[in-house]
Structure 1
Amino acid sequence: MTHAPSHLSTHLRLVGMAVLWGASWPWGRVLAQAMPPLAAAACRFLIAGAILMLWLASTGRLSALRSWSASRWAGMVVAASFGVFGYATFFMSGLKHVPAGKGALVITLNPVITLLLAAWIFHERLNKRIGLGMALAAVGAAVVITRGEPWHVLDGRVGIGELLLLGCVACWVAYTLIGRKVMAGVDALTTTAVTAAIGAAMLLALTLAVDGTTALAGVLAAPRNAWLCMAGITVGSTALAYAWYFDGVKALGAGAASGYITLVPVFGVVFSALWLGEVVDASLLVGGTMAIAGTALMNLGRR
């Protein structure tokens, strides 16, 4: 008699990913206030990319990149454009304007859109419970984004910071779904290392084109607490968490892995309140509860 393989270690890594990504919001908020946002994003992925490439080399898998086809490299460039370059740009720019806890709750839209597109593209199943959860999560996110007045979504009265964070959502959904395709035959660490390195080069080029070398000087002049946050966001939230996330996508599927993003806003709000003293107002509490409950209901529906 055969038994289904246990994915316990994969689930534990996805929980660890949620903790680290939750912490990335207050860390990112500190960086966005202390450094030029684009330069901070470039620095984040330059450091993380170097760590991941060294890690890849230590496993003996770096030499395998030489045998990659042009189409595989093209897929990695597209994935890096969304998941690293696009996401990091919107992330750091959005946190310049929006509190970290609020930003963490906006990303509850990620699993909603990911599941919808995964059902369309990969034929992952949907049911009434998933549909109800999607609706609840979407309304909750709208309450958070509009400060308790979701009807203003229709008349366009949404701040620049919130719009930038919606760019994060779009980029991450694309990254998740593209990653599922380009990862065929490629392990999670290799995918993460290559996309981080490519994305870092893109971010550095954009920083130099938009802000020049003065932005990099601003990064170097940042205070000690900003560099401690940089260490946390590069080693933990980028190098480790990205690898764990892609491992989850490969083992469980795009919809199931993205379901763990439900936990990210919980950790994000808690860490932002504890570390940065951010106030959790009524719209954040009510909308956040709805969004998190909706994504939890989606996960129950998937089971």
Structure 2
Amino acid sequence: MSSSAIVYAVVSAVLFGLSTPAAKVLLGATDPMFLAGLLYCGAGAGIALCRRMARLLLPAAADKESPLSAAELPWLGGAIAAGGIVGPILLMVGLIHTEASAASLMLTLEGVATALLAWFVFHENFDRRIAIGMACLMAGAVILSWSGRPTWSGLLGPLAIAGACLAWGIDNNLTRKVSLSDPLQIVELKGLIAGPVNVGLALWTGSSIPALGAIAGGAVVGFLGYGVSLALFVRALRGLGTARTGAYFSTAPFFGATAAVVGLGEPITAQLLAAAGLMGVGVWLHVTEHHEHRHVHEAQAHAHAHSHDEHHRHAHGPDDPPGEPHSHWHRHGPLAHSHPHVPDAHHQHRH
């Protein structure tokens, strides 16, 4: 299991978790749909600027990533629609009717949705330990959303947030299909497409343009909590697979809930602590997984950033780039061996 991929996933979770209470504050001065657009505009514009600055200042490093191919664009388009448009709008609606600490912990359901789709739709492997972990996460979310006297107004917020988590689960699995390509290009396209669409929908439905301070705040939160976070999440997908990355990312609600309690003065309740305990056990079961057996790598050919490890022992032509890591079209021959691994880009075998 790649330690760097784990770091990418956890830092991604921290940034996204902190963005939830920050968005709750901004909702006081910004329409939910308009704020969703601002968050993605900030992500897309900020990452676009970083990408171009990197190409200007560090051209050799910038060229180590493979650009998106035409065959990958449909997968990215589906990810943008689900995670960049539907998901943020549902989250903003949910935040109106839910305390930020509770909303932050409910976002753990994104990991559940991501894993269930990865297992049963995209056929990523899992075992009993992983399934029990996800059951703990789901139980925590149920405790968190239970009000004792269910009403439509009381359920609206949690249902909207659950819908956002499902949309992001679809987004994560579709993004996994393009994760070997340049993460900054992926985030740039997501933000610069989803952001203006959300802003346009907000204006079309009668939203007013917020004050300049709210626009600037939304752009900054979007750049860090959505842009940088998503770029790191894509890097983690390469090394961990979809469900495992989602499990690490499930730590995001704990950071968000802590920030809401400390920064917004929201109360610490027994319900909140019980849910946090169950979710903590679920995350622990995931991150302590050990999976090893003899497996076979089928022959394949593709392009992505790589170093010459045991999975990348291929000859170079005169036009291939020097140094490592680097990116170029290469072929993998058949390989059979045994070592600890997760369902990353090179371990998609059946069990």
Q: TM-score range by the shorter chain?
A: 0.7 to 0.9
Q: 1:120 corresponds to which letter in structure 2?
A: F
Whole-angstrom distance in 2 between the partners of 1:83 and 1:248: 17
Whole-angstrom distance in 2 between the partners of 1:298 and 1:252: 12
Whole-angstrom distance in 2 between the partners of 1:169 and 1:130: 19
Report the counterpart of residue 277 of structure 2 in structure 1: 289
Report the counterpart of residue 162 of structure 2 in structure 1: 166
Report the counterpart of residue 177 of structure 2 in structure 1: 181
Quote the offset at 1:268 in angstroms: 1.0
Quote the offset at 1:158 in angstroms: 5.1
Residues 14, 260 of structure 1: 8 Å contact kept = yes
Could you list the structure 1 runs, at least 4 aligned residues long, displaced by more than 6 angstroms after superposition: 64-67
Unaligned runs of 5+ in 2: 56-61, 292-351
TM-score norm. by structure 2 comes to 0.73
Corresponding pairs, count: 284
Q: Which has the larger radius of gyration?
A: 2
Q: 2:51 corresponds to which letter in structure 1?
A: L
Quote the offset at 1:58 in angstroms: 3.3
Whole-angstrom distance in 2 between the partners of 1:229 and 1:252: 33
What is the CA deviation profile of residues 139-188 of structure 1, one whole-angstrom value per residue up to 9, with x for unaligned ones? 111010113x5x96xx988521111101111111001001011335x221
Report the counterpart of residue 324 of structure 2 in structure 1: none
- Aligned residue for 1:268, secondary structure, equals helix
Q: 1:179 corresponds to which letter in structure 2?
A: T
Q: Which of 47, 51, 63 in structure 2 is aligned with 1:52? A: 47
Residues 41, 195 of structure 2: 8 Å contact kept = yes
Whole-angstrom distance in 2 between the partners of 1:111 and 1:67: 26
- Aligned residue for 1:95, secondary structure, equals helix
Quote the offset at 1:125 in angstroms: 2.3
Report the counterpart of residue 100 of structure 2 in structure 1: 100
What is the CA deviation profile of residues 198-219 of structure 1, one whole-angstrom value per residue up to 9, with x for unaligned ones? 111221221121125xx21xx1
Residues 251, 283 of structure 2: 8 Å contact kept = no
Report the counterpart of residue 276 of structure 1 in structure 2: 264
Report the counterpart of residue 242 of structure 2 in structure 1: 254
Quote the offset at 1:229 in angstroms: 4.5
Quote the offset at 1:66 in angstroms: 10
Quote the offset at 1:228 in angstroms: 6.9
Of the two structures, which has the highest relative contact order with CA contacts closer than 8 Å and spacing of 6 or more?
1
What is the CA deviation profile of residues 205-241 of structure 1, one whole-angstrom value per residue up to 9, with x for unaligned ones? 21121125xx21xx126xx5x5674354122112211
Whole-angstrom distance in 2 between the partners of 1:94 and 1:67: 33
Report the counterpart of residue 220 of structure 1 in structure 2: 211
Whole-angstrom distance in 2 between the partners of 1:95 and 1:172: 16
Quote the offset at 1:120 in angstroms: 2.1
Whole-angstrom distance in 2 between the partners of 1:67 and 1:261: 24
Q: 1:134 corresponds to which letter in structure 2?
A: M
Report the counterpart of residue 3 of structure 1 in structure 2: none
Q: 1:142 corresponds to which letter in structure 2?
A: V
Percent identity among equivalent residues? Answer: 25
Aligned-residue Cα RMSD (Å) equals 2.7
Matched, 1:79 2:74: no
